[in-house]
Amino acid sequence: MQKSLQKKLYAMRDSGAIVSEALELCRRLALPGVTTASIDAKVEDLIRSYGAKPSFKGYGGFPASTCISVNEVIVHGIPGKRKLLEGDIVGFDVGAFLGGYHGDAALTIPIGEVDEESRQLMLVTWKSLKAGVAKAQPGNKIGDIGSAVQKVAEKAGFHVVRDFTGHGVGKKLHERPQIPNYGRAGSGATIKVGDALAIEPMVNVGTVAMKILPDNWTAVVYDGSRSAHYEFTIFITEDGPEILTPHNGPGFD
């Protein structure tokens, strides 16, 4: 691997490690009765304690360091006074910028005991992420990733979100290419050694239709059904994808 790509990889490992730690902090803090704002504040403190910056805070005007999306919220939930409740599912999306590069990852977890449909939604979305990552091989196409994600989700009877995609990530939080979570295998840009990709399936129980709430950020499933979201930042090496933001997904397989 070229020295410039090695430098990029080493820097992104560092930012990715902070993101992984932040997500595990979210997992520990996410208990019934806890407010989403209190979790966000502790995540920001953690990120800054490493000399890093929260990638999301101020990005396009987003007011927080963590996107916290509960139940029917697909992505971009703004932390606030809402308290988590037993039976909720909650998605955490975190980014950190260190050494000139971003890391970006997300997970959805249950709050206490959840219904079986929610459990299956999380499990299937998690499996769809792993299926997409497995297709992120040098010489494959971006469409191979989306096709793999879509097959896992739809085989289980769920619906892949089409209004949001994965993306390249690096010196900028969002770079080319876009990575849809659906599509045709063999289509799209060729995946190359040195690419850094944020793969992030978002999967709904009900319709694929969504709407944005009046805060101009929070995206919710139109029919009010639940949504799950998992994301890894990966780096493409000669041997395949290296996951830079590892986590344990929903915490069960």
Q: What is the mean pLDDT of residues 101-125?
A: 98
Question: How would residue 1 be classed by pLDDT, with cut points 50, 70 and 90?
Answer: confident
Q: What is the mean pLDDT of residues 201-211?
A: 97
Q: What's the predicted TM-score (pTM) here?
A: 0.97
Question: How would residue 2 be classed by pLDDT, with cut points 50, 70 and 90?
Answer: confident
Residue 241 pairs with which residues in a beta bridge?
236
When the pLDDT of each residue in the chain is averaged and rounded to a whole number, the result is 97
pLDDT computed for residue 148 by the predictor: 98
| 216-219-222 Cα angle (round to 5) | 120
* Residue showing tokens 């045709």: 184
Token reading at 244? 């830079």
Question: How would residue 252 be classed by pLDDT, with cut points 50, 70 and 90?
Answer: confident
pLDDT computed for residue 124 by the predictor: 98
Domain 3-237: CATH architecture, name and number where available: Alpha-Beta Complex (3.90)
| Cβ contact 121:250 at 8 Å | no
Residue 95 pairs with which residues in a beta bridge?
104
Q: Is the pLDDT of residue 131 over 80?
A: yes
pLDDT computed for residue 22 by the predictor: 98
pLDDT computed for residue 253 by the predictor: 74
Q: What is the DSSP string of 147-194?
A: HHHHHHHHHTT-EE--S--EEE-SSSSSEEEEE-SS--TT-SSBP-TT
